Structure 1
Amino acid sequence: MQTTPRPLMILVAGPYRSGTDDDPARLAANVDVMNQAALALFRAGHLPVTGEALALPLIGLAGSTAVGDPAFDEIFHPISERLLSRCDAVLRIGGPSAGADLMTSQARDQGKQVFQSLDTVPDAR
């Protein structure tokens, strides 16, 4: 009898700022791509998370007025690093991204699973 894999908490890591010139519409499009991947993970029985979902509201509350300003930098990558410590795995999506590559590298260093595509994530339903 084959058992279903247990649900995983999976950090979706992909480009946020890369290639956007910090254009708000392009940033939002990158978040949408990560959220689409998160929805697919949820539908496969997992608990998906993105650093952006946690960081962006706090960044606004911290008084950030522009992407990359001190309040942004205080929160954006550090929250993903803290979140990663609680996750079981990372799903790396999209194109070039120093931040997503850092999350992937840190996940490997912590012995966590790293998936390179949605097709490789086991169904947990």
Structure 2
Amino acid sequence: MTDKPMFILIAGPYRSGTGGDPQAMEANLARLEAAAWPVFAAGHLPVIGEWIALPVLRSAGAGPTDPLADQVLYPTAERLLARCDAVLRLPGASTGADQDVATARRRGLPVYHDVAEIPPLARREAV
């Protein structure tokens, strides 16, 4: 158990393996988001880089397959990891998620591979 809520980056495939297919990317985002509730229910705050990066891209008139995406998606995760306490790495090939794990390890942050590994908050807030 932990006595402080953690800010946990959920990392996994988003664009990887999709060939730029918007429906496949949406399905990948849905898999990332499916992990958000269990992280929150354990007393922590989940975050997914695309929740921040996609609106940034849209505001620049771009999308996830635009050349600008590499200048937004990866740096967003890097900036988030400066604030995060841990990473939850979901299964699947993903260069970006692998970079997130490497960054987390360099910074001494725990990397979990299953929600069950995440220590629950000792004093849970009402949900």
Letter in 1 for 2:70: D
1:4 and 1:57 mapped to 2: Cα distance?
Answer: 32
Count of residue pairs the alignment pairs up: 122
Is the counterpart of residue 57 in structure 1 residue 55 in structure 2?
A: yes
CA contact (8 A) 2:13 2:93 kept: yes
Match of 2:77 in 1: 80
Q: Which runs of 5+ in 1 are unaligned?
A: none
Distance 2:71 2:106 in 1: 23
What is the CA distance between 1:6 and its match in structure 2?
2.2
CA distance in 1, matches of 2:2, 2:101: 25
Q: Which residue of 2 aligns with 1:98?
A: 95
Unaligned runs of 5+ in 2: none
Distance 1:9 1:98 in 2: 22
How far is the alpha carbon of 1:91 from its aligned partner? 0.4
Cα deviation per residue 1:22-44 (whole Å; 9 max; x = unaligned)? 11111001111111101210111
User: Against the structure 1 CA distance between its residues 98 and 115, is the aligned structure 2 distance closer, same or farther, given a 3 Å change threshold?
Assistant: same
- Code of the residue aligned with 1:7 in structure 2: it is P
TM-score, L = length of structure 1: 0.91
Separation in structure 2 between the aligned mates of residue 34 and residue 82 of structure 1, nearest angstrom: 19
Q: 1:65: Cα distance to partner?
A: 4.9
Spell out structure 1 runs of 4+ moving beyond 6 A: none
| Residues 13 and 91, structure 1, Cα contact 8 Å, conserved in 2 | yes
TM-score between both structures, scaled by the size of structure 2: 0.90
Give the secondary structure class of the aligned counterpart of 1:70.
coil
Structure 1 pair 97–65 and aligned structure 2 pair: CA distance change class (3 A)? closer
**Would the aligned equivalents of 2:81 and 2:104 in 1 still touch at CA under 8 Å?**
yes
Q: Does the residue aligned with 2:35 lie in a helix, a strand or coil?
A: helix
Identify which of 110, 113, 116 aligns with 2:113: 116
Taking the aligned partners of 1:75 and 1:18, their CA distance within structure 2 comes to: 16
Q: How does 1:11-30 map to 2 (within 5 A)?
A: 11-30=9-28
Taking every aligned residue pair, what percent have the same amino acid on both sides? 48
